[in-house]
Structure 1
Amino acid sequence: MKKLLKTLPLLALLIVVSSCSSVRVSTDYDRKTEFDSFKTFAFFKTGIDKAEINDIDKRRILRAIETELLAKGFTKSEDPDILVSIFTKSNQRVDVYNNAWGNGAWGWGGFGFGGFGWGGFGPGWGWGWNQPAVSTQVEGVLFVDLINAKKKELVWQGMGTGYLAKKTDKKIERINEFVSKIMEQYPPEVEK
């Protein structure tokens, strides 16, 4: 039983860490659209300019989308079939963890009562308060919109939600993961 109690917090931490690394994706699309007819694309500057994200990350996202579309056989064009736009938003998540494994605290010193006691300079158990741990993370949402260029109508939208990285090399990797996971869902499997 004691082994189980010691293993549970580690297992919970593992689940939390692994869930933080994944991107959750959802999509929606116009069921009457013939996606097979789209062969060319361009970026919709008007929509992209409204995205609330720094220009460096914006370019990273657009490069990743372009890479994915080119891999799907699309061609970049001045007279495109579809326009690509993006939208972003973010939320800061604050988690407070109370360590309630018991009142024992590992420390240095001795134990005594009213002036009598055992002094010591070695490690031992004592009574104390557990400090809560606070963790903050930024959860981002990336929307990728595909717009029928001729009709100026949204025909497909992919949304990816996940935690953002702070270091530049991890950020680039994370952006590529977001875009890749979202674009895996395009084109949709349209029921006929």
Structure 2
Amino acid sequence: MSTLLQRCLFAALGLSLSACSSVSVTTDYDHSASFDHYRTYTLAPSTDPVGLSPSSEAALRDSLRTHLATRNIAEVAGNADLHVVRHISTKEKRVVNQSSYGSVPYRYGRYGMWAGAPPVYTDVSQYTVGTLILDFVDAKSQKLVFRGIATGTVSDPEANAERIREAVEKIVQSYPGGVKP
């Protein structure tokens, strides 16, 4: 009985988290780099132990190709101006909320409606947070020139692919070079 209740709570949590935009992005770049000179890129192979699902991998590649093209940066198979290196990690998070029903605010403090302490209810939620880091490395100097970090909740492959598309779009919007959309 307890496991059925836990499964229902996790399903409800997953639905509520997927309903809102749960992707946050931060970026930073080398202010001395000349971004207008970067016209081509390659996506470096991932060496992370946590890999992307096939649908998430396709979403990452397609989204990079689409959004970098708006900055006049094209994907090439050979020598490129930039290497885009991705790093992926996941982390389990647990949120504990306690609430007490039965206490009433009062001018000089709180008093309970029952003799003794009011009942305390505890809700525990657990979810997985994924982090995608995209490093843009100058191919000639091997220096990091731009980094975008996106974090969001991890759920089913279809929702993950959509979050990756959203993350890449937000990261590329902050890219300082090229033609801005």
- The 3-state SS of whatever aligns with 2:124 is strand
Output one character per residue of 1:109-146: Cα deviation in whole Å (capped at 9) or x when no partner: xxxxxxxxxxxxxxxxxxx9554221112122111011
Structure 1 partner of 2:25: 25
Residue 26 of structure 1: how far off its partner (Å):
1.7
Structure 1 partner of 2:159: 170
Unaligned runs of 5+ in 1: 1-15, 104-127
Q: How many residues align?
A: 147
Instruction: Report whether the alignment pairs 1:154 with 2:144.
Output: yes
Q: In the aligned structure 2, how far is the partner of 1:17 from the partner of 1:54?
A: 20
Q: Percent identity?
A: 27
Unaligned runs of 5+ in 2: 1-15, 104-117
TM-score under structure 1 length normalisation: 0.66
- The 3-state SS of whatever aligns with 1:132 is strand
Check 1:141–1:83 CA distance in 2 against 1; reply closer, same or farther (3 A cut): same
Structure 2 partner of 1:85: 85
Output one character per residue of 1:1-47: Cα deviation in whole Å (capped at 9) or x when no partner: xxxxxxxxxxxxxxx969x63422222222211000111111122xx
Larger radius of gyration: 1
Amino acid at match of 1:183: V
Check 1:170–1:50 CA distance in 2 against 1; reply closer, same or farther (3 A cut): closer
- The 3-state SS of whatever aligns with 2:149 is strand
Check 1:27–1:60 CA distance in 2 against 1; reply closer, same or farther (3 A cut): same
- The 3-state SS of whatever aligns with 2:100 is coil
Q: Which has the higher contact order (CA 8 A, sep 6+)?
A: 2
- The 3-state SS of whatever aligns with 1:186 is coil
Check 1:55–1:167 CA distance in 2 against 1; reply closer, same or farther (3 A cut): closer
Structure 2 partner of 1:53: 51
Q: In the aligned structure 2, how far is the partner of 1:51 from the partner of 1:179?
A: 21
| C-alpha contact 2:100 2:121 (8 A) present in aligned 1 | no
